[in-house]
């Protein structure tokens, strides 16, 4: 209960200051007192966000990540008197729930914290169901691309991985290698129709069709001939990978467990989340690593965004919580649950955990929310037709 | 069975030929049930239908012409008449139906055989078999699918080879490891308890003297089985078939998990992925296709069995039970039962428990043992600070929520199911009866994720006299009740069909009022059916996740929502430990209900 005692210490100071301010020997008449109160000078101070939030008593957050319970607990300890109602569910479920609430006028969520910025922007932000909030204290610490239209909490990467027990370095040098006969049936990836962030990955590959065409030439020494009806090199890669017997599994850990399992003769390569490298701590037998040097890029970024919900019943607590989640102004514990292998903070003053290469050193593609949104249906249909 | 005997003695010889007409209470009851079904079943289904004709906000991604909220035939065209049709509809539908038929056939064989062994024969260890036979349904079929892969996986999906290849050196072919065959086997081992519960319940109620008389008259045992035993349990067989088939064609997890490595996709795969991408209208068209096919099945099977051809077996006469002497076949029976129960219940449970006491996931050795995930105090490094489950107040609260929700939903469903069974059977042949029976079955055919989303959208608003139920525990209960109602109505209907009308009519002749009759005559005689219904709803709700995820509040989180949390964090040990706790609670719940049922039966004459 150290926090509580610090809280009461602060309170004691505040009360002391107030008493001194009033009893400081100044002669104050009633009109002056009213003026002081109006302009918040002398004994009267601007209420802090915490003081405003305290009157709201609680805050409700819908989170894609179950670690909401961890930063919720540290928030409650740091800001006694405000209770965090944490819901964890899929990003898609958050969208469904917020849409239903907003349309019915049942305003219950304060903060949403989720993946799939393309859908969040198009379906929640543009109709005015959610709004951006950048904690003022840290605004100067955030690059512009992570501030608009919605605050980006952190980013992560989806990357190609290989088995390190059998291969000393990545057996694929170029992602077009996956279309060669020797990798037939030896490439695993999560089903984009089920783990939908991989639609973002595929869309980003399609968006970089020109780079994909160049990469093909590097790999095969000739220019790419598109199959009939296929629009560009990005789609061509998807088609050929599927034709080459790509194994579709349910989730990212299915990929990393299959690639990293020990004792394999001809282990597959896979596309999965960078953060799966963390599983090696929980299961030291797993032997896999990221194919850092693969061409044209080692993977694709995706963003996790946070926003305040329209008519949030507890707006000040919502702002305070977002500030806490971002690591507030003195690097509080709010960001800690995400300060892990595979996540990169968007704040320039927070370094990635030790042992993680800096983003600047990695060749990856950014996702473009607008492009993902526009191309989404086409990617889904193309995948469904060709799988 | 003393009460039957006493009742028999009292009622024997009383009026038999009184006309069977609908009394006023029955009409009232039917009306109330119709209203309830209209609100909680028909309206949500209409909502599904309407949604298929409307552009949704996410559909802008599918077509530039999409105008959210406006009318469109796009979704029907996309499913039925587009280049996607074979991939979205035809192939998955055929796969689903094949899985459904094969799974229900195998489940009927397993469940029926086990039920007969346990209830009717002198096979050794009958009680233990009977107790264990329903356990597979309490274990998530996902665990069983994982166990299958542990045994039979080959190098196709990478990773280490399965146990079979390790021991024999032979790589199982793809068709053994993935796709149709393993899906059917795993689903059958998971769903046969439906059949087991319903048939064993029916067999228990059947007067054995029917069979004995036939044997006395010199009929061979096979003939007795075919001509007497089978026909009288036919309603239960039918119910078991319908429940299994509908669940098997509608289930997502196992067929997807075992099928996707060989790109064997079923209709639920397409429904779930479309909902996941929030192409809800496309998903709803597919849901309607699923509903249509299952409804055809229900309709046809009702025609085949025909309510009129049912057999009254719970009559006013008392009966004695003498088991069938299997002779040396007893041990074969035991071997079959033991294999099923060991494979489907004991082995997965041991694996689950083992995987919850591993320091490093996936290493099966004694040096890797840890009790940390069960018992560690908070702050332990291995668990990243999380306390062991048995010390975690959040887990205990979630467990209590699970129990509270499952028990409430099961109780409400069992009572409602019994009442529905009563009006359906009493009014058999009438339009009202048919409507009630068909309508009450609909929710079962809607995939749970879709059902949860519809309940969210319908009940978030005030609605006539019904206030907004959003965020209440009541809404969770209602969702679980109506989605799982068919478990209760099926067992309600099959039990009611066995109850002789003469018992109630006798009581009526003595001037007993309707409530008195229902409470003192009908209810005690059908308690077995209610317990079966209760057990199925209870076990199902305990494992429910996608149905309620959109509706839970932090105060009502259940154990299954906690499993999801740990799985995401890569703590397979915690996730498996929670599954073990779920199974243990289910076992206790079902066992307690049986004890309770047994008592009320002997005391309720």
Q: What is the ipTM of this complex?
A: 0.83
> Residue B5 has what pLDDT?
47
Biggest alpha carbon distance in chain B? 77
Residue in chain A nearest B280 by alpha carbon: A96
Contact (CB<8Å) B84/A96: no
Ranking A40-44, A126-130, B175-179, B539-543 by mean pLDDT, the lowest is: A40-44
Q: How confident is the model at residue B228 (pLDDT cuts 50, 70, 90)?
A: confident
pLDDT over 90 percentage in chain B: 26
Task: Quickly list DSSP for B281-323.
Answer: HHHHHHHHHHHHHHHHHHHHHHHHH-GGG----B-SS------
Q: What is the mean pLDDT of residues A62-73?
A: 89
Strand partners for A270: A161, A188
Report helix, strand or coil for A187. strand
DSSP-derived pairing of the beta strands A151-163 and A288-290: antiparallel
Measured CA to CA, the distance from residue A193 to residue A255 in angstroms comes to 16
Measured CA to CA, the distance from residue A334 to residue A332 in angstroms comes to 6
pLDDT digits (tens, 9 = 90+) for B29-58: 899 999 999 999 999 899 889 999 999 888
Interface test with B, best of A107, A193, A271 (most B CBs within 10 A): A193
For residue A106, list chain B residues with Cβ-Cβ distance below 8 A. 460-461, 468, 470
Contact (CB<8Å) B553/A268: no
Measured CA to CA, the distance from residue B106 to residue B119 in angstroms comes to 20
A to B CB pairs, distance under 8 Å: 142
DSSP A192: T
Strand partners for A158: A273, A300
> Residue B463 has what pLDDT?
78
Measure in Å the smallest separation between the Cα of A124 and chain B Cα atoms.
Answer: 10
Q: How confident is the model at residue A7 (pLDDT cuts 50, 70, 90)?
A: low
For residue B566, list chain A residues with Cβ-Cβ distance below 8 A. 66
Give Cα separations from A177 to A48, A173, A180, A184 (angstroms): 57, 7, 5, 10
Q: Are B442 and B45 in contact (CB under 8 A)?
A: yes
For residue B84, list chain A residues with Cβ-Cβ distance below 8 A. 381, 384-385
Q: Are B449 and B253 in contact (CB under 8 A)?
A: no
Contact (CB<8Å) B273/A191: yes
DSSP B360: S
Measured CA to CA, the distance from residue B100 to residue B255 in angstroms comes to 11
The secondary element (H helix, E strand) that includes residue A305 is: strand A299-309
Q: Are A74 and A336 in contact (CB under 8 A)?
A: yes
Beta strands in A36-186 (DSSP E): 58-63, 83-88, 111-114, 130-131, 151-163
Higher per-residue pLDDT: A108 or B224: A108
Q: How confident is the model at residue A20 (pLDDT cuts 50, 70, 90)?
A: very low
Measured CA to CA, the distance from residue A189 to residue A195 in angstroms comes to 10
Q: Using CB atoms, which residue from A100, A261, A285 is nearest to B460?
A: A100
pLDDT digits (tens, 9 = 90+) for B282-312: 999 999 998 888 888 877 877 776 554 455 5
Give Cα separations from B571 to B83, B257, B560, B562 (angstroms): 42, 20, 14, 11
- The answer, yes or no, to whether residue B427 has pLDDT greater than 90, is no
For residue A65, list chain B residues with Cβ-Cβ distance below 8 A. 568
Interface test with B, best of A72, A191, A241 (most B CBs within 10 A): A191
Contact (CB<8Å) B565/A88: yes
Alpha-carbon radius of gyration of chain A: 25
Residue in chain A nearest B278 by alpha carbon: A92
Q: What is the mean pLDDT of residues A160-182?
A: 95
Q: Are B256 and B237 in contact (CB under 8 A)?
A: no
Q: What is the mean pLDDT of residues A211-223?
A: 95
DSSP percent split of chain B into helix, strand, coil, nearest 5: 75, 0, 25
> Residue A2 has what pLDDT?
44
> Residue B306 has what pLDDT?
58
Ranking A297-311, B146-160, B454-468, B562-576 by mean pLDDT, the lowest is: B562-576
Contact (CB<8Å) A194/B256: yes
For residue A166, list chain B residues with Cβ-Cβ distance below 8 A. none
Contact (CB<8Å) A247/B261: yes
- Which runs of consecutive H residues, i.e. helices, occur in B471-558? 473-498, 501-509, 514-517, 523-543
Interface test with A, best of B56, B59, B61, B359 (most A CBs within 10 A): B61
Give Cα separations from A141 to A149, A332, A361, B8, B501 (angstroms): 16, 15, 20, 86, 80
Residue in chain B nearest A277 by alpha carbon: B570
For residue A262, list chain B residues with Cβ-Cβ distance below 8 A. 160
Report helix, strand or coil for A314. coil
- Which runs of consecutive H residues, i.e. helices, occur in chain A? 2-22, 30-39, 49-56, 68-78, 91-104, 117-119, 197-207, 209-220, 233-243, 252-260, 279-282, 315-325, 369-386
CA neighbor of B424 nearest in space, from A364, A144, B178, B416:
B416
Measured CA to CA, the distance from residue A384 to residue A378 in angstroms comes to 10
Higher per-residue pLDDT: B246 or A311: A311
For residue B564, list chain A residues with Cβ-Cβ distance below 8 A. 66, 88
pLDDT digits (tens, 9 = 90+) for A118-130: 999 999 999 999 9
Q: Using CB atoms, which residue from B159, B257, B276 is nearest to A257?
A: B159
Measured CA to CA, the distance from residue B227 to residue B488 in angstroms comes to 28
The secondary element (H helix, E strand) that includes residue A247 is: strand A247-249
Residue in chain A nearest B153 by alpha carbon: A258
Give Cα separations from B64 to A229, A377, B277 (angstroms): 20, 10, 17
Q: Using CB atoms, which residue from A259, A285, A384 is nearest to B362?
A: A285
Contact (CB<8Å) A185/B156: yes
Contact (CB<8Å) B276/A92: yes
DSSP-derived pairing of the beta strands A299-309 and A364-365: parallel
Peptide linkage before A149 cis (omega within 30 of 0) = yes
> Residue B310 has what pLDDT?
52
For residue A258, list chain B residues with Cβ-Cβ distance below 8 A. 157-159
Q: What is the mean pLDDT of residues B378-401?
A: 81
Residue in chain B nearest A338 by alpha carbon: B569
Class of residue A269 by CB neighbours under 10 A (exposed 0-12, middle 13-18, buried 19+): buried
Measure in Å the smallest separation between the Cα of B21 and chain A Cα atoms.
Answer: 46
Strand partners for A86: A61
Return the structure tokens found at A244: 């080459």
Interface test with A, best of B51, B57, B158 (most A CBs within 10 A): B158
Strand partners for A309: A130
Measured CA to CA, the distance from residue B267 to residue B290 in angstroms comes to 8
For residue B574, list chain A residues with Cβ-Cβ distance below 8 A. none
The secondary element (H helix, E strand) that includes residue A365 is: strand A364-365
Q: Are A349 and A141 in contact (CB under 8 A)?
A: yes
> Residue B94 — φ and ψ, nearest 5°?
-60, -45
For residue A96, list chain B residues with Cβ-Cβ distance below 8 A. 278, 453, 456, 550
Measure in Å the smallest separation between the Cα of A91 and chain B Cα atoms.
Answer: 9
Report helix, strand or coil for B551. coil
Give Cα separations from B447 to A253, B255, B290, B544 (angstroms): 25, 14, 9, 12
Q: What is the mean pLDDT of residues B176-182?
A: 93
Measure in Å the smallest separation between the Cα of B602 and chain A Cα atoms.
Answer: 47
Contact (CB<8Å) A285/B470: no
Measured CA to CA, the distance from residue B157 to residue B258 in angstroms comes to 11
Contact (CB<8Å) A101/B460: yes
> Residue A206 has what pLDDT?
97
CB contact burial B388-406 (16+ within 10 A = b; e otherwise) = bbeebeebebbbebbbebb
For residue B78, list chain A residues with Cβ-Cβ distance below 8 A. none
Q: Using CB atoms, which residue from A258, A284, A381 is nearest to B84?
A: A381
Higher per-residue pLDDT: A112 or A194: A112
- The answer, yes or no, to whether residue B264 has pLDDT greater than 80, is yes
DSSP-derived pairing of the beta strands A187-190 and A247-249: parallel
Report chain B's mean pLDDT, rounded to a whole number: 82
Other CB atoms within a 10 A radius of the CB of residue B77 amount to 13
Q: Using CB atoms, which residue from A85, A90, A194 is nearest to B273?
A: A194
> Residue B603 has what pLDDT?
31
Q: Are B423 and B433 in contact (CB under 8 A)?
A: yes
> Residue B312 has what pLDDT?
59
Measure in Å the smallest separation between the Cα of B454 and chain A Cα atoms.
Answer: 10
Measured CA to CA, the distance from residue B386 to residue B565 in angstroms comes to 12
Contact (CB<8Å) A377/B554: no
Measure in Å the smallest separation between the Cα of B136 and chain A Cα atoms.
Answer: 23
What is the reported pTM? Answer: 0.85
CB contact burial A66-94 (16+ within 10 A = b; e otherwise) = bbbbbbbebbbebbeebbbbbbbbbbbbb
Show Cβ contacts of residue B304 under 8 Å, excluding neighbours closer than 6 positions: B238
Measure in Å the smallest separation between the Cα of A350 and chain B Cα atoms.
Answer: 22
Return the structure tokens found at B416: 């409602």
Measured CA to CA, the distance from residue B56 to residue A96 in angstroms comes to 11
CA neighbor of A101 nearest in space, from B350, B553, B379, B474:
B553
Measure in Å the smallest separation between the Cα of A2 and chain B Cα atoms.
Answer: 17
Contact (CB<8Å) B58/A123: yes
Report helix, strand or coil for A188. strand
Interior angle at CA A208, CA A202 and CA A214, nearest 5: 120
> Residue B598 has what pLDDT?
62
Measure in Å the smallest separation between the Cα of A100 and chain B Cα atoms.
Answer: 6
Show Cβ contacts of residue B293 under 8 Å, excluding neighbours closer than 6 positions: B93, B97, B249
Interface test with B, best of A125, A185, A380 (most B CBs within 10 A): A380
- The answer, yes or no, to whether residue A224 has pLDDT greater than 90, is yes
Q: What is the mean pLDDT of residues B266-283?
A: 89
Ranking B94-103, B298-307, B360-369 by mean pLDDT, the lowest is: B298-307
- The answer, yes or no, to whether residue B83 has pLDDT greater than 50, is yes
Report helix, strand or coil for B470. coil
Q: Are B147 and B347 in contact (CB under 8 A)?
A: yes
């Amino acid at each position: 209960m150290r926090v509580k005692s610090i809280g009461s210490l602060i309170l004691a100071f505040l009360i002391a200051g107030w008493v001194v301010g009033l009893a400081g020997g100044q002669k104050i008449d009633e009109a002056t007192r009213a003026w002081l109160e109006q302009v918040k000078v002398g004994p009267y101070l601007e209420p802090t966000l915490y003081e405003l939030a305290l009157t709201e008593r609680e805050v409700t957050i819908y989170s894609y990540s179950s670690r909401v319970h961890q930063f919720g607990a540290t928030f409650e300890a740091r800001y006694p008197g405000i209770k965090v109602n944490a819901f964890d569910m899929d990003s898609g479920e958050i969208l469904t729930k917020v849409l239903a609430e907003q349309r019915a006028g049942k305003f219950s969520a304060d903060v949403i914290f989720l993946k799939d910025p393309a859908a969040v922007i198009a379906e929640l932000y543009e109709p005015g169901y959610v709004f951006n909030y950048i904690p003022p204290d840290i605004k100067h610490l955030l690059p512009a691309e992570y501030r608009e239209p919605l605050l980006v909490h952190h980013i992560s990467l989806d990357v190609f991985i290989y088995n390190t027990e059998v291969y000393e370095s990545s057996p694929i040098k170029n992602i077009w290698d996956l279309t060669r006969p020797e990798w037939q049936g030896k490439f695993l990836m999560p089903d984009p129709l089920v783990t939908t962030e991989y639609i973002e990955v595929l869309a980003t590959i399609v968006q970089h069709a020109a780079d994909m065409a160049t990469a093909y030439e590097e790999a095969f020494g000739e220019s790419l001939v598109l199959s009939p009806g296929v629009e560009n090199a990005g789609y061509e890669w998807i088609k050929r990978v599927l034709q080459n017997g790509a194994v579709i599994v349910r989730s990212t850990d299915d990929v990393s467990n299959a690639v990293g399992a020990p004792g394999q003769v001809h282990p597959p390569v896979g596309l999965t989340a960078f953060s799966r490298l963390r599983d090696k701590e929980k299961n030291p037998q797993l032997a896999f690593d990221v194919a850092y040097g693969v061409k044209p890029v080692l993977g694709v970024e995706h963003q996790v965004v946070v926003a305040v919900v329209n008519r949030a019943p507890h707006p000040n607590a919502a702002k305070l919580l977002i500030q806490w989640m971002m690591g507030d102004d003195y690097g509080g514990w709010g960001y800690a649950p995400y300060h892990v292998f595979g996540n990169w903070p968007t704040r320039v003053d927070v370094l990635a955990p030790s042992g993680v290469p800096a983003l600047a050193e990695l060749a990856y593609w950014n996702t473009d929310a607008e492009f993902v949104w526009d191309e989404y249906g086409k990617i889904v249909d193309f995948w469904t037709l060709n799988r | 069975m003393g009460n039957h005997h006493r009742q028999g003695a009292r009622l024997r010889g009383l009026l038999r030929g009184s006309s069977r007409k609908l009394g006023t209470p029955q009409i009232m009851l039917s009306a109330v049930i119709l209203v309830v079904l209209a609100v909680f079943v028909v309206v949500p289904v209409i909502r599904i239908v309407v949604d298929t004709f409307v552009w949704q906000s996410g559909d802008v991604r599918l077509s530039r012409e999409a105008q959210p909220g406006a009318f469109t035939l796009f979704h029907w065209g996309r499913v039925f008449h587009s280049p996607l049709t074979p991939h979205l509809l035809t192939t998955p539908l055929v796969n689903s139906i094949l899985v459904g038929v094969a799974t229900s056939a195998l489940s009927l064989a397993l469940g029926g055989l086990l039920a007969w062994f346990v209830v009717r024969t002198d096979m050794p260890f009958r009680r233990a078999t009977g107790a264990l036979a329903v356990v597979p349904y309490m274990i998530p079929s996902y665990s069983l699918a994982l166990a299958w892969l542990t045994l039979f996986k080959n190098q196709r999906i990478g990773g280490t080879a399965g146990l079979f290849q390790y021991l024999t050196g032979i790589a199982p072919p793809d068709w053994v490891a993935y796709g149709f065959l393993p899906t059917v086997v795993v689903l059958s081992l998971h769903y046969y308890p439906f059949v087991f519960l319903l048939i064993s319940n029916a067999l228990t109620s059947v007067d054995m003297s029917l069979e004995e008389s036939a044997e006395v008259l010199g009929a061979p045992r096979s003939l007795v089985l075919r001509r007497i035993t089978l026909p009288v349990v036919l309603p239960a067989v039918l119910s078991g078939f319908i429940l299994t088939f509908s669940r098997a064609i509608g289930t997502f997890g196992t067929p997807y998990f075992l099928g996707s490595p060989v790109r064997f996709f079923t209709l639920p795969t397409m429904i779930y992925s479309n909902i996941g991408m929030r192409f809800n209208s496309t998903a709803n068209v597919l849901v309607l296709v699923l509903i249509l096919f299952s409804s055809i099945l229900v309709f046809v099977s009702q025609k085949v069995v025909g309510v009129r051809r049912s057999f009254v077996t719970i009559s006013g006469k008392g009966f004695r039970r003498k088991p069938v002497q299997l002779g040396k076949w007893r041990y074969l029976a035991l071997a079959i039962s033991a294999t099923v129960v060991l494979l489907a219940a004991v082995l997965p449970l041991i694996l689950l428990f083992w995987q919850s006491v591993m320091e490093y996931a996936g290493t099966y050795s004694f040096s890797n043992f840890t009790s940390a995930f069960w018992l560690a105090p908070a702050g332990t490094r291995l668990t990243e600070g999380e306390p062991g489950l048995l010390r975690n107040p959040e887990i205990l609260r979630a467990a209590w929520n699970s129990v509270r929700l499952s028990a409430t939903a099961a109780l409400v469903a069992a009572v409602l199911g019994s009442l529905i069974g009563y009006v359906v059977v009493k009014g058999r042949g009438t339009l009202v009866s048919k409507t009630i029976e068909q309508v009450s079955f609909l929710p079962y055919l809607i995939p749970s994720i879709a059902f949860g989303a519809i309940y969210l959208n319908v009940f978030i608003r005030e609605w006539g006299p019904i206030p907004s139920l959003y965020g209440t525990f009541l809404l969770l209960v209602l969702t679980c009740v109506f989605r799982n109602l068919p478990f209760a109505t099926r067992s309600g209907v099959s039990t009611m069909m066995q109850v002789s009308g003469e018992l109630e009519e006798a009581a009526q002749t003595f001037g007993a009022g309707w409530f008195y009759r229902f409470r003192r005559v009908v209810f005690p005689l059908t308690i077995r059916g209610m317990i079966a219904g209760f057990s199925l709803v209870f076990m199902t709700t305990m494992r429910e996740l996608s149905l309620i995820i959109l509706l839970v509040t932090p105060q009502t989180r259940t154990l299954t929502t906690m499993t999801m949390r740990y799985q995401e964090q890569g703590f397979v040990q915690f996730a498996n430990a929670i599954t073990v706790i779920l199974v243990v609670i289910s076992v206790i719940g079902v066992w307690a209900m049986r004890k309770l049922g047994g008592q009320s039966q002997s005391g309720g004459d």
